Structure 1
């Protein structure tokens, strides 16, 4: 069994409010509310653990409100290697509108991270890399953290022999790519466009997806793009693949992109070829879309979408 380590530097406790016909500048009534430990790397690890993989998680957490994370890690058999700091982990609000099929995110900043905290994390990260096969560096950066931290950690992981996946945005993503130590990136359309300022709008980006991906493949080995209802693409130096999006009764999009990455990593870690790994990512994401909250649905598991997922070589 392959060992997988995920890094979440800016986790959050997510409050998800279900608000049918959510209206701006008006009084709205929530029909349901739930509270989940979140953060992109944690979401990836949650899906992988539920999918039967050995996962370890690290990053920064605040001691004050850590119990929800502690219980989640224990319930999902995830090895907890987080650094616990004074203060509270940030909170975020997600408003899910099941009528309009929209999700509105309100994210708060995390607590400030000192240089000493970063040094401690890097030293621990180096120790954790022993025997790890896959490393996922995922999510935004908290205040005080250098934009180059993912690039630094990618170099450390790659030198230790691990496959490195990065899912972040902006300068942090750009520097990670330029490090030459990243094997897989998973940008969305907005993040992809931000890497190339000459593209002015979504149509330009969509039309140039293949060209942009070919540019990126000069530095990374794989580019995975999840395009929502338009399906998903996987570009490698050897081939290009496209997968359709299965028809799903979408309850919420929260965490679906993270689960897509988890499924893709799960496929690669299981020795599946690129096409089958892409299909697995699509099926895992579809399972998440059928429920509110991160992880894999028990009532509509990933395998229930396999016969409805077609991967084509472009």
Structure 2
């Protein structure tokens, strides 16, 4: 089994309007509401790939009930810690006249020390039943920056493999715990090195440096340009299928889902990277984050190129 952890779960709501103007009354032509947060997106894609997955994290109020119920409708087991307040809503407004996106992201409920103890106990129980545990997304208000590092230690104590996908202080702290897998994007990798940006020629060396910190699998995602990976000391360049993306939200989560799914099945490094890149590409062809068409995914797996560095 794979467990995903979303500490700041959300309802991802998308509004489509004919033309978005500040100060104007907006008529929504179409809307989508999905159980969201990065870990929940990972769980949705793992399930669509055919994996057995349990989603955990914090959930609050009627929004939390919607998130849990929607995941269960998809065949995803849930084991959330309930907290007071309301899980957040992340609103994405799409201007159909030009395709631009405007996002409004709520903070989510405050988390206290007792609730952190409860999520640690829940995670330990789930990790004992799992081969892979994926920690994804931002930390909720009230959570210490070192929380992911502490959760990684709990996962490692059960012999499950810890996957980490976050940013900022949570990433810096989490890396010190040496998770099995991390997926920074190019900006997050540059920040880890104390740089504003990296030139394209610097990506492989930067990824290798991160891997040398004791992390078995490092995948640096580069959007439509693919990814650079170091897995067990070997470097790879991943060239994705050529597509005209519909929506790039959730592509990184889909990449993580593909890696976790392939990891549980014992795939070799090149196959892992093909599955992950194909899942990301399939997500880009859907208007929902954390969603893939399986037949399209299968076509894309054949098109992904993995080149040894």
Structure 1 residues 81-92: aligned runs within 5 Å:
81-92=79-90
Select 2:298's aligned residue among 284, 303, 310. Answer: 303
Deviations for 1:99-122, whole angstroms, at most 9, x for unmatched residues? 755544321111110111111111
When structure 1 is superposed on structure 2, of 40-49 and 187-196 the one drifting more is 187-196
Shift of 1:88: 0.8
Deviations for 1:254-276, whole angstroms, at most 9, x for unmatched residues? 21110111012212222211111
Select 2:162's aligned residue among 161, 164, 167. Answer: 164
Shift of 1:91: 0.8
Q: Does 1:238 align with 2:233?
A: yes
Determine if contact 1:148/1:172 at 8 Å carries over to the other structure: yes
Structure 1 residues 114-263: aligned runs within 5 Å:
114-180=112-178, 182-197=179-194, 199-201=195-197, 204-218=198-212, 219-263=214-258
Query: Equivalents in 2 of 1:18, 1:194: separation in Å?
Result: 34
Shift of 1:80: 0.9
Select 1:14's aligned residue among 12, 28, 31. Answer: 12
Query: Equivalents in 2 of 1:229, 1:29: separation in Å?
Result: 32
Shift of 1:73: 2.0
Determine if contact 2:61/2:85 at 8 Å carries over to the other structure: yes
Provide closer, same or farther for how the CA distance between residues 191 and 27 of structure 1 changes in structure 2, counting only shifts above 3 A.
farther
When structure 1 is superposed on structure 2, of 255-264 and 300-309 the one drifting more is 300-309
Query: Equivalents in 2 of 1:42, 1:104: separation in Å?
Result: 22
Provide closer, same or farther for how the CA distance between residues 174 and 265 of structure 1 changes in structure 2, counting only shifts above 3 A.
same
Query: Equivalents in 2 of 1:249, 1:179: separation in Å?
Result: 38
TM-score (norm 1): 0.91
Query: Equivalents in 2 of 1:234, 1:67: separation in Å?
Result: 37
Partner of 1:272: 267
Determine if contact 1:56/1:78 at 8 Å carries over to the other structure: yes
When structure 1 is superposed on structure 2, of 120-129 and 12-21 the one drifting more is 12-21
Query: Equivalents in 2 of 1:19, 1:225: separation in Å?
Result: 34
Partner of 2:278: 283
Determine if contact 1:13/1:38 at 8 Å carries over to the other structure: yes
Query: Equivalents in 1 of 2:44, 2:267: separation in Å?
Result: 21
Q: Which sections of structure 1, spanning at least 5 residues, go unmatched?
A: none
Q: CA RMSD in A?
A: 2.1
TM-score (norm 2): 0.92
Deviations for 1:79-102, whole angstroms, at most 9, x for unmatched residues? 110011121101111234567555
Select 2:43's aligned residue among 39, 42, 45. Answer: 45
Shift of 1:226: 1.7
Query: Equivalents in 2 of 1:298, 1:249: separation in Å?
Result: 15
Query: Equivalents in 2 of 1:224, 1:267: separation in Å?
Result: 14
